[in-house]
A and B are shown apart, each in its own frame.
Chain A
Amino acid sequence: MSFFRITLTRSGIGLPRRTRGVLEALGLRYRMQTVFYPVTPEVAGQIMKVKELVSVREVDKALTREELREERRPDPGYYVESAVPR
């Protein structure tokens, strides 16, 4: 089962109430928020309504909030090679 990965890149401020309603229905409340929905015609129609505001990718599995956060975390860049006895 594949999912749409939808990220709000432009804010919905100042847009018609209809458009903001679609964003609310998708659960997109602030910029750079990412939501996952299964690939269905209904969701595809919602995306088409706000296609100027979002960036969409098709992914294989939906990530949780924690996994999204872990994705953004940079690599530590070090590891303890030899520790003093403690």
Chain B
Amino acid sequence: MLSRTIRKSILDTRISPSALPPTFLLPYRARYFNNTAQHVEPPTDGFNASQVAPTSSENAQPAESTSSATSPITAPTSASSTATLSPSVKELLPLLAAQPSHYISAHIHGRPYLVTAGDIVRLPFRMPGVVPGDVLRLNRASSLGSRDYTLKGAPYLDERIFECRARVMGTESEPMRFKEKTKRRNRKVNVVKSKHKFTILRISELKINDLESIES
């Protein structure tokens, strides 16, 4: 048993960096040359530059009413459920929490993102109503785990178990795409342009709550 773990640890360390492809071929790096520079765009409507710097106090008022179209989701829709945790979860949750690092598969608009703390996520859409610096609380997850343990939800975990926060980093855009649309027996060529924007999140915190705070 012990010799097997030693052998396994030796095998783990033997994977040299040369076994991996060069860094620019790794998918995270690959995004750099497939992408334009990140630009921080101002929030959409009802935004005055003077509101960021509150020193000029004259026209700071009028933005309250206009931001209803792209209002972000602010409040938690439902109060945390009062259902108690199952005994096996109660038994094994401290073991999971004691492990050094955790991952979570958080669901945003029904799509799972398998992340850990410190990850940068490029969402496949531009999230409306958020600006760089906002802190989002991710409260839907289907699994939460570490190296040795995984807590799976059916289909989702109890949202009191964990605290996962993400900070909005900004908006990225893809290079402009051109698509030539043609019809038969017609010389006209229609060029459709598209250039989408994507919100960048950084997972700033992933914490597992202890049992006392969950039960209370």
B139 touches A78 (CB 8 A): yes
Contact of B139 among A77, A85, A86 (CB under 8 A): A77
B107 touches A85 (CB 8 A): no
A-B contact count (CB 8 A): 72
Chain B count of residues within 8 A CB distance of the other chain = 31
B6 nearest CB across to chain A (Å): 43
A74 touches B110 (CB 8 A): yes
B202 nearest CB across to chain A (Å): 14
Give the residue name and chain of the A residue nearest to B138 (CB): A78
Taking chain A's interface residues, is the majority helix, strand, or loop, or is none over half, making it mixed? loop
Q: Is B59 an interface residue (CB 8 A)?
A: no
Q: Which of A67-84 contact B (CB under 8 A)?
A: 74-84
B133 touches A76 (CB 8 A): no
Contact of B136 among A74, A75, A79, A84 (CB under 8 A): A79
Alpha-carbon gap, A79 to B109, bound state (A): 11
Query: Which residue, of A75, A80, A81, A82, has the highest number of chain B Cβ atoms within 10 A?
Result: A80
Interface residues on A, range: 10 to 19
Alpha-carbon gap, A76 to B106, bound state (A): 11
Encode A37-53 as 1/0 by CB contact (under 8 A) with B: 00000000000000000
Q: Which of B19-27, B71-79, B95-103 faces chain A?
A: B71-79
Using known A-B contacts A81-B137, A86-B43, determine if residue A76 contacts B51 with beta carbons closer than 8 Å.
no
Q: Which residues of A contact B145 (CB under 8 A)?
A: none
Alpha-carbon gap, A8 to B51, bound state (A): 53
Contact of A79 among B63, B76, B131 (CB under 8 A): B76
Q: Which of B42-60 contact A (CB under 8 A)?
A: 43, 47, 51-52, 54
A79 touches B133 (CB 8 A): no
Q: Which residues of B contact A82 (CB under 8 A)?
A: 134-135
Using known A-B contacts A76-B108, A76-B109, A77-B108, determine if residue A83 contacts B134 with beta carbons closer than 8 Å.
yes
| Interfacial residues, chain A to chain B (CB-CB below 8 A) | 74-86
Top 7 A-B residue pairs of the complex, sorted by shortest distance between their CB atoms: A74-B110, A77-B140, A84-B133, A81-B137, A80-B72, A77-B108, A78-B136
